[in-house]
Amino acid sequence: MASINTSQLVQWLDNYLQASRFKDYCPNGLQVEGTPTVQHIVTGVTASQALLEAAVERGADTVLVHHGWFWKNEDARIRGMKKKRLAFALEHDLNLIAYHLPLDAHPEVGNNTQLALQLGLQQDKDEDGQPIGIGPSGLIQLGYLETPNTLENVAKKLCQQLQRSPLVVGNPQQIIQRVAWCTGGAQGFMTEAIDAGVDLYISGEASEPNYHYALESDTAYIGAGHHATERYGVKALGDKVAAQFGVKVEFIDINNPI
């Protein structure tokens, strides 16, 4: 069975995802040190207790996620759920590796690019072929539908691809061509999408103001699910790691309706 040194893997990931470029809300890279050799990786959106248990059940030694632990502003004390998760990881010698913003933004395996592939969205690109983003860390992607379609039909396609019915605000018959999107909890950036003059802004979650903004501007809003919009980045990253190092990698989708 193929294997790789844990520190070599993390170094490769840091470099591939350009992790040092980002000012993030959590540490990126190796968050909890486990076994020094990696043979079997489980990938998933969030390092929840359920994902850790599923990983151990499958005999994995490493968990690679988009949402890891140790978030800025969280209570630093190790107690309750946090104690349980950490004790479980240590007891099973699991490596926990997490990449947050670097895995949203990456031009190839990033959540935003991968969501575009799901929906058939063309990304605006600069002269170097890199996707053009606006807003904080350039995380909001701009692009377009090659064939303009109604909001209703765009929502239908989203529903089919993501296997989830999205929250849609706007006139169902509105023609959508220019689109901005940012996976996960980026509903707060909607005004930047409106300023960019797009017909539709897509993110994962929704907040109360999104409703009014969509009705009072020419920009419709779709909340397609935080989890649902962020499944594809870590999955693509896992495929990349498997191809690069030949280690076993499996994606586990722990369902989350939010």
In the bound state with Zn ion, the residue whose beta carbon lies nearer, of 6 and 183, is: 183
Interaction between residue 44 and Zn ion (CB under 5 A): no
User: Interhelix angle for 151-162 vs 111-119, to 10°?
Assistant: 110
Question: Three-state DSSP class for 93?
Answer: coil
**Site size for Zn ion, by CB under 5 A?**
2
In angstroms, what is the minimal distance from the CB of 118 to Zn ion?
Answer: 16
In angstroms, what is the minimal distance from the CB of 110 to Zn ion?
Answer: 12
Residue range at the interface with Zn ion (CB under 5 A); choices 30-38, 70-78, 156-164, 179-187: 179-187
In the bound state with Zn ion, the residue whose beta carbon lies nearer, of 110 and 184, is: 184
What is d(CA 204, CA 111) in angstroms, rounded to the nearest whole number? 11
14 to 33, contacts with Zn ion by CB under 5 A?
A: none
What is d(CA 102, CA 93) in angstroms, rounded to the nearest whole number? 25
**Which residues lie closer than 8 Å to 165 by C-beta, 6 or more apart?**
159
Report the amino acid identity of residue 166.
P
State the pairing for strand pair 121-123/140-150.
Answer: antiparallel
In the bound state with Zn ion, the residue whose beta carbon lies nearer, of 34 and 233, is: 233
Distances (CA, A) of 140 to 44, 72, 76, 113: 23, 22, 30, 11
Residue range at the interface with Zn ion (CB under 5 A); choices 3-11, 56-64, 74-82, 181-189: 181-189
In b/e form, how buried is each residue of 86-107, taking b as 16+ CB within 10 angstroms?
A: beebeebebbbbbbbbbbbbbe
In the bound state with Zn ion, the residue whose beta carbon lies nearer, of 145 and 206, is: 206
In the bound state with Zn ion, the residue whose beta carbon lies nearer, of 226 and 248, is: 226
Interaction between residue 184 and Zn ion (CB under 5 A): yes
The DSSP symbol for 20 reads G
Element (H or E) spanning 11, and its range?
helix 6-16
In angstroms, what is the minimal distance from the CB of 48 to Zn ion?
Answer: 13
HSE-CB at 257 with a 13 A cutoff on CA atoms is 2
What is d(CA 38, CA 129) in angstroms, rounded to the nearest whole number? 34
Report which residue's Cβ sits closest to Zn ion.
184
Sole residue written with tokens 């280690």 = 247
In the bound state with Zn ion, the residue whose beta carbon lies nearer, of 143 and 184, is: 184
199 to 258, contacts with Zn ion by CB under 5 A?
A: 230
**Binding track, positions 107-136, relative to Zn ion; x by CB under 5 A:** ------------------------------
In angstroms, what is the minimal distance from the CB of 24 to Zn ion?
Answer: 12
Residue range at the interface with Zn ion (CB under 5 A); choices 151-159, 177-185, 213-221, 236-244: 177-185
- The answer to whether 253 and 228 are in contact (CB under 8 A) is no
In angstroms, what is the minimal distance from the CB of 183 to Zn ion?
Answer: 7
In angstroms, what is the minimal distance from the CB of 231 to Zn ion?
Answer: 11
Site residues for Zn ion per CB under 5 A: 184, 230
